[in-house]
A and B are shown apart, each in its own frame.
Chain A
């Protein structure tokens, strides 16, 4: 008995030791991910082409601390590109000025800063095009348009063409300037403004001016192929990542204002707003909003505060909210049809050139984000206006953290298409960037967004008036 117990203890001890030895590798420190790698992508000359989303425009302005976190700057940083090799037209704060901020949490009141323009410090000394050729307000056609861009800036009251392209000797269009850099890698995210001008004006001002719609999908597809073919031919060894167009109706610009006025006592919605909307055959009439299908825009708040669109029973004037503040079901359908058609063209081009072109499905990305939000490292992002943290105060453009989320989608697509392992952005390491000027807080039916604060962005979006 004595020897049995002794043996049993010895065997148990040996078994434990054997187990430990067997599992020893688990206790060693080892890398569980592959080392960072750029795969088949050469980032040595990275050029980004696009609009405000590429420029890093945020909360109604373009300024250095936002540009530092533009999604192309994020990608360049993550891919190990030195700052000196990825030049952005950095406009020292407050850049173009008029940065929207929360002036008071009572309401809360959203207003703009002072107008100013601080051109890039190296505008006159950098004797080559910028790597980031994102031009706020640009539509697809602007990428290949070779007409005088200084004149275009003036005509469209959009300073960015001349601020960013600067010198026609570098190239007479964004595409020409991009190719002049002999890019080894490019991101191209263009086309959102071909529908945004229309949508943010409540369907009143389209790409070809008042009364027009989103850019015609057939024309759009032709321009897109023309632009991409020029890029692929002009930079025969470069790799590309192209993004498609998000569903613009899911951004806070369209989703923040409720569809009816809440009773101040009960909190129940008592007065559905009265709006100008179109009937099935396209005729404008004044009537009750269709809560399921119509959107009231962020621009409507000044009018709503003045009682326009609010029923008399709810204390309003009973006058209808003008067409320009409402994207009704007919206009939503037109917007979405255009986006779908553009995205079909983008997908077709990408799949026809899949060895060189990675597709970033920004449409699916934003839809997923709207549904689930993002939680990472203690940072919680949703698509809610102000508190969501993803969209800036203009309700259209992401914050620095939102852009980092977008950059990660590009990086993911680059990694999977080109066998790379570019590290993702850590969103917790990106500064939050919605400017808060004041304290105190009061619950309100909607944030008090001054129309004037949205003007700088809207001016860009509605100035295209392109004629092909």
Chain B
């Protein structure tokens, strides 16, 4: 009898139905130890080589030929307590990150300056124990990216300067998690196929900045970075532990892309003889992250495309900071910021636990010789405790995160 050919998809278990690959605030703003030590409030001054990131218009005020190299050591610590209303605490695996930065600048002396920067404007990494309660959402995610950012600037009579740059982003993404199925093997062991997805991606964008010095001692800065569509070009998925389901989970090529959001910064600074202070507003266009589509090249009853809802909201950061020159060798710095998170409660996931946070920053600058200086910064970054009870992914609970960030940069001036 011909009873075997109809179209009831009895096995349509969509493996990626409840996962976000990329989570919240994967933006990094730590691209120069001096700026970081002042709470990142730097757009209106931007007078060291990291101006390439903070405000390219500032490049014209950086004299001579400069090389600046350094990075930021990030030590995050996160716990998840739940699933709500349970009190079980799960601790994220301890991880360290060291996004580096490097800048080369040259000032032609007639108001014209040029430079190139390499840094990591987007990045994240999260790793949870393999047996943790959210293993069907995420066990590991890692986004590493670099921007290569050639920049030119021009200043007119110390009153106004403008800068513009081109952004090329390239990087690598890793995602790992278990997938829930209703099945067990004949010994009663649950079948939970593990997926490892990895791929390289790239994208392009641009940036520009303006700096005004309308009156003595006061400067105003504005800097804009465009959105970058970061496309994965060679991503593959590999399933393991699928048992008898393995033929239905061939993995293979995956295509997806995620936005690096549009960002602008505006600030005002006051410079005294031995000190300067600044207040900034930063806007981040996170609403660009609505939805992430993961498309397999090969489809089976089990291996299906999926769309992941982000629904992020635009957000902002408020920054204040300053520095004080103690003497010709030592400079002391301090700053703080308030960072509003872009992730609605319903879409908060353990991929990158996000919450409103404050950054408390201190740092020093040392002029070791006439041409060599070292800047160091320390940031304490406590997140607000965040309790989610309305998760669209059925993953309710309480997140607690703090991070310590140590930054160092070496600058050499010719």
Contact = CB atoms under 8 A, between A and B. Distances in A.
Contacts of A267: 6-7
A429 to B, nearest CB: 6
Interface string B203-247: 000000000000111100000000000000000000000011111
Nearest to B395: A377
B394 A374 contact: yes
Contact of A30 (B192, B320, B385, B394): B385
Question: What 6 A-B pairs have minimum CB-CB distances, sorted nearest first?
Answer: A378-B136, A389-B182, A376-B394, A375-B394, A436-B183, A431-B190
Contact of A432 (B135, B137, B191, B356): B191
B277 interface: yes
B83 interface: yes
B10 A387 contact: yes
9 contacts: A1-B215, A9-B320, A93-B188, A378-B18, A379-B394, A428-B83, A436-B185, A443-B8, A444-B4
Interface string B58-91: 0000000000000000000001010111111000
A380 B382 contact: no
Interface residues on A, range: 35 or more
Interface in B5-21: 5-13, 17-19
Interface in A14-45: 16-17, 19-20, 23, 26-33, 35-36
Given A16-B338, A27-B385, A426-B86, A375 B393 contact: yes
Contacts of A16: 318, 320, 336, 338
A33 B87 contact: yes
A443 B180 contact: no
Contacts of B243: 436
A442 interface: yes
Contact of A443 (B7, B19, B134): B7
A402 to B, nearest CB: 10
A293 interface: no
Contact of A445 (B6, B81, B192, B245): B6
Contacts of B277: 6, 9-10, 13
B200 interface: no
Contact of B13 (A35, A36, A102, A387): A387
A5 B246 CA distance: 67
B387 A32 contact: yes
Question: DSSP class of B's interface residues: helix, strand, loop or mixed?
Answer: loop
Interface of A: 1-2, 5-6, 9-10, 12-13, 16-17, 19-20, 23, 26-33, 35-36, 65, 93, 101-102, 105-108, 258, 261-262, 264, 267, 304-305, 307, 315-316, 374-381, 385-389, 399, 401, 421, 423-424, 426, 428-429, 431-447
A379 B385 contact: no
A441 B217 CA distance: 75
B86 A441 contact: no
B298 interface: no
B248 to A, nearest CB: 6
A441 B387 contact: no
Contact of B4 (A107, A307, A385): A107
Contact of B10 (A401, A433, A434, A443): A443
Given A2-B216, A2-B217, A445-B6, 12 more contacts: A31-B87, A304-B3, A376-B83, A378-B134, A424-B85, A431-B184, A432-B181, A432-B191, A439-B245, A443-B8, A444-B3, A445-B5
Given A32-B398, A432-B180, A437 B393 contact: no
B383 interface: yes
Which of A2, A387, A437 lies at the interface centre, i.e. has the most chain B CB atoms within 10 A of its CB? A387
A441 B387 CA distance: 42
A5 B136 contact: no
Given A19-B338, A435-B186, A423 B86 contact: yes
Nearest to A384: B10
Given A426-B86, A432-B183, A443 B9 contact: yes
Contacts of A304: 3
A399 B183 CA distance: 10
Given A377-B394, A431-B190, A435-B183, A26 B136 contact: no
B215 A436 contact: no
B129 interface: no
A431 B270 contact: no
Contacts of A376: 83, 394-395
Contact of A33 (B79, B86, B301, B338): B86
A419 B226 CA distance: 55
Contacts of A262: 6-7
Contacts of A386: 10-11, 182
Which of B88, B300, B320, B322 lies at the interface centre, i.e. has the most chain A CB atoms within 10 A of its CB? B320
Interface string B1-39: 111111111111100011100000000000000000000
Contacts of B124: none
Contacts of A33: 84-87
A468 B342 CA distance: 66
A57 to B, nearest CB: 15
A316 B1 CA distance: 8
Contacts of A441: 11, 247-248, 300-301
